[in-house]
């Protein structure tokens, strides 16, 4: 087993949060959109991948971080295609990309560059596919979904920033001038 650094611990914590909260996501969509919530069940396909991140992190930290980021991107893109752009589910890409920047050290810039390139390719193809699909949500349902996704993405961003800050050693004070 490999000793985990602060970035790997952040990645595994966020993966656990995603895996634990994932089963409730279709319920939130059901409350916002009623019987049109069936596409939200597609998000459950990613739950085992989020759950595998802590296991993989003990063996291959870089692989675990990449798995977390790509699972988040693919899950978000799949939900965007299934629920349409008006749901604003793509707002989750912001905390995912923030997480990618925070968990990959500067020396692994090529990993981050590959992940960002893959993210752009996947999200762009999902965007194009989502434009062709009309899920049938009413304006009120679309607004509810958009508000829920924006609030959830903001909460996830805040959690990532809080955990990142908590995982860093405190800054040392400069010595007093003489």
- In tens, the pLDDT along 62-96 reads 999 999 999 999 899 888 888 888 888 889 989 99
**SS3 of 168, please?**
coil
**φ/ψ bin of 169: left (φ > 0), alpha (ψ from -120 to 50), beta (otherwise):** beta
Which residues have C-beta within 8 Å of that of residue 13, sequence separation ≥ 6? 163
Number of structural domains, the chain? 1
In a domain, 178, yes or no: no
In a domain, 1, yes or no: no
Residues 52-65 have a mean pLDDT of 94
In a domain, 38, yes or no: yes
In a domain, 174, yes or no: no
Per residue in 142-170, pLDDT (tens digit) is: 888 999 999 999 999 999 999 999 876 55
pTM score, whole prediction: 0.84
DSSP annotation of 104 reads S
Could you tell me the residue range of the domain that residue 10 belongs to?
6-167
Q: Do residues 15 and 48 touch, judged by C-beta distance below 8 A?
A: no
In a domain, 143, yes or no: yes
In a domain, 116, yes or no: yes
Q: Do residues 104 and 112 touch, judged by C-beta distance below 8 A?
A: yes
What is the percentage of the chain residues whose pLDDT exceeds 70? 87
In a domain, 177, yes or no: no
CA 92 vs CA 47, 56, 76, 108, 140: distances in Å: 16, 23, 7, 24, 21
In a domain, 153, yes or no: yes
């Amino acid at each position: 087993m490999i000793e985990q650094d602060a970035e790997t611990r952040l990645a595994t914590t966020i993966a656990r949060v995603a895996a634990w909260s994932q089963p409730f996501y279709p319920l939130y969509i059901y409350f916002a959109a009623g019987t049109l919530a069936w596409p939200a069940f597609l998000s459950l396909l990613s739950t085992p991948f989020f759950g595998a991140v802590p296991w993989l992190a003990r063996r291959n930290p870089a692989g675990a971080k990449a798995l977390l980021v790509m699972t988040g991107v693919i899950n978000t893109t799949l939900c965007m295609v299934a629920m349409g752009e008006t749901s604003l589910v793509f707002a989750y890409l912001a905390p995912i990309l923030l997480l990618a920047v925070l968990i990959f050290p500067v020396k692994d810039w090529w990993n981050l560059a590959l992940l960002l390139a893959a993210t752009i390719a996947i999200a762009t193809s999902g965007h194009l596919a989502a434009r062709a699909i009309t899920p049938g949500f009413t304006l009120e349902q679309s607004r509810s979904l958009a508000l829920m996704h924006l609030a959830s993405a903001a909460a996830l961003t805040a959690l990532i920033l809080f955990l990142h800050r908590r995982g860093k050693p405190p800054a040392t004070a400069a010595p007093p001038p003489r």
